[in-house]
């Protein structure tokens, strides 16, 4: 399991928003695959999966999210995804 957080891109960045999820909840993603586009006050940046697994989205598109907040979780197996998502 790996938490995906709102990244900090630049000293002044305090928040960003999900412009678009490139993958769906429960979908398998490959390591380094783009999973979301993040919009900041200066740019749109892509977020890549840090490992292969099943994506569980925690943040909605278009909502301001503070830097460092968990926006999604990647579970390594479908069984782990199913078990943990039931408890979230």
Task: Give the integer Cα–Cα distance in Å for 36 and 21.
Answer: 4
Find the length of the chain. 88
Report how many domains make up the chain.
1
Residues forming a β-bridge with 44: 39
The confidence score (pLDDT) of residue 88 equals 66
Cβ pair 11, 67 in contact under 8 A: no
> Residue 54's domain is classified under what CATH number?
2.40.50.100
pLDDT computed for residue 69 by the predictor: 97
Per-residue pLDDT at 36: 98
Q: Domain range spanning residue 15?
A: 2-87
Task: Name the stretches of the chain with pLDDT < 50.
Answer: none
Write the CA distances from 22 to 10, 37, 84, integer angstroms.
Answer: 23, 7, 22
Alpha-carbon gap, residue 37 to 55, rounded angstroms:
15
User: What is the reported pLDDT for 12?
Assistant: 81
């Amino acid at each position: 399991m790996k938490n995906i957080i709102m990244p900090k891109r630049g000293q002044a960045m305090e928040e960003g928003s999900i412009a678009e999820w490139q993958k769906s909840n429960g979908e398998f993603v490959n390591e380094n695959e783009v999973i979301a586009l993040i919009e900041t006050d200066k740019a749109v940046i892509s977020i890549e999966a840090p490992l292969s697994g099943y994506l569980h989205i925690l943040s909605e598109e278009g909502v301001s999210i503070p830097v460092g907040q968990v926006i999604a979780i990647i579970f390594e197996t479908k069984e782990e995804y199913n078990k943990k998502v039931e408890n979230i």
